[in-house]
Amino acid sequence: MTTTDPTNPSRRRFLKQTGTITTGAMLAGIAPPVHPGGSDDIRLALIGCGGRGSGAVGNAVSVPGGTARLWAMADLFEDKLSRSYNALSKRYADRVEVPNDRKFLGFDAYRHAIDCLRPGDIALCTTHAYCRPTHVEYAVKKGVNVFMEKSFAPDPAGLHRMLRIGELAQKSGVKIATGLMCRHSVARQELKKRIDDGQIGDLQLVRAYRMSGGRPMQPRKQKANELAWQIRHAGNFAWVSSGRFIEWLIHQIDECCWLYDGWPVAVHGMGGRVAEGKDCSQNLDIYALEYTFQNGKKAIVDCRFMNHCYNEFATYVQGTKCAAQFSGQTHKGTVRIFDNQFTDKRAMHWAADAEPCSPWQAEWNDFLESLREDRPHNETKRSVHSNFAAIMGRAAVHTGKIVSWNDVFGSKFAFVADVDHMTMDTPAPVTADEQGRYPAPIPGEWVEF
């Protein structure tokens, strides 16, 4: 199927308009009656109205033959909800039905938005990772299907909770789709089949890169609420979003796990910051990792946020016969097999056909098809395991240790003890020093598992 792709090149760029919410925003919703099983009449609640969430709505309402409608919206911040609503209602006017009494603000807004749905509808849980288990658990217990963005929790404790939620969904028949969309890429699926068939020989090495410019975080403006400010700047704080490394690299790490059909047993790595840098965040500027899998084979994953340097965004595989490219710029389905070990397109032996739609659209096509045909669809376990692999890599760099799967999977570490009852008056989990800098990882001293 050929579809219009509303997310190319990046869902982060979706929102371009601003607006306001009127005074009815906080009125509670009332759940309508249950709709018939298998019906195409699907109502959506958007929980987290940033670019990713708004882009996911665009994908959901663009599924061929579907009649999904945006029914309710929730966010912590009025400006984000308003901007999302204005952009979505302009672009998808016939698919957005969100009056003011189905727009909700605050830490409990997710409850009100989900309460507007019927069992069998879909909650789009697209906030940051710190509250993902809280929101998904509420939806599952209400019998509401879930699309959840990555990452799925910022720490091992949250991921274990998410595994339990996934098991509950499995038992109750609730469907869960996740934001690791590359698994739905038909080009990658074709290359994976060719690799399994031996066309590149025995797979020896996977190399994954995401290297681009950086943008240092500035000190907080003192008038801003500390907790709200950290959540608004989520990618700069490990407790909010998992940090920039996992936010960006979880897709490539998931590709490594997919290619090796398993999970890493150990990882070591190193990282650092730009000399004399002024970044106030908790992120490092460089992450370089070596994963080891059950068969002793390796995956190299490199990430860098530095300006005026060589950039690359791709995943490659090396076999005993030749090399291949598994992924391209901005997760594009740039999929090729080469004649030799050099990944030079002049030596290209085979290339996948252009994909009929983006991976983001493909995951929604598959998800809504599973609802229409009432097929099982629960990506929780596989996706959470990839998230554990990503946390392994982050921990290895931040602690300066070789980190095993058992180290992280056996951990109950949490950055924040209780996010379920967080309010805007809750003290922020981390505080800045006199220069406005937040605690950054120091290998040998840092703890996160």
* Residue 274 belongs to a domain: yes
Q: How far apart are alpha carbons 196 and 203 in whole angstroms?
A: 9
What DSSP designation does 423 have? -
pLDDT in tens, 365-383: 999 999 999 999 999 999 9
Tens-digit pLDDT profile for residues 244-261: 999 999 999 999 999 999
* Residue 284 resides in a domain: yes
Asked if residue 217 and residue 125 are part of one domain, the reply reads: no
CATH number for 80: 3.40.50.720
User: Is residue 256 located within the same domain as residue 122?
Assistant: no
Say whether both 265 and 300 belong to one domain: yes
Check whether residue 195 and residue 159 sit in a common domain: no
Check whether residue 136 and residue 193 sit in a common domain: no
Given this model, what pLDDT does residue 58 score?
98
Domain end, chosen from 132, 149, 182, is at: 182
The pLDDT score that the predictor gives to residue 66 is 82
Q: For residue 172, name the pLDDT band (cuts at 50, 70, 90).
A: very high
4: nearest Cα among 53, 58, 46, 49: 58
Q: Is residue 78 part of a domain?
A: yes
For residue 290, the cross-strand partners are: 268, 300
**Domain assignment present for 361:** no
Residue 225 shares a structural domain with residue 160? no
**Pair 195, 104 in one domain:** no
DSSP calls for 329-346:
GGG----EEESSSS--GG
Both 204 and 339 in a single domain? yes
Burial letters 17-48, b for 16+ CB under 10 A, else e: eeeebeeebeeebeeeeebeeeeeebbbbbbb
Query: Does residue 367 sit within a domain?
Result: no
Q: What is the pTM of this model?
A: 0.91
Give domain status of residue 51, yes or no. Answer: yes
Final residue belonging to a domain, choices 161, 182, 203: 182
Residue 289 belongs to domain spanning: 185-356+385-409
Tokens of 138: 């509420």
- Domains contained in the chain, number: 2
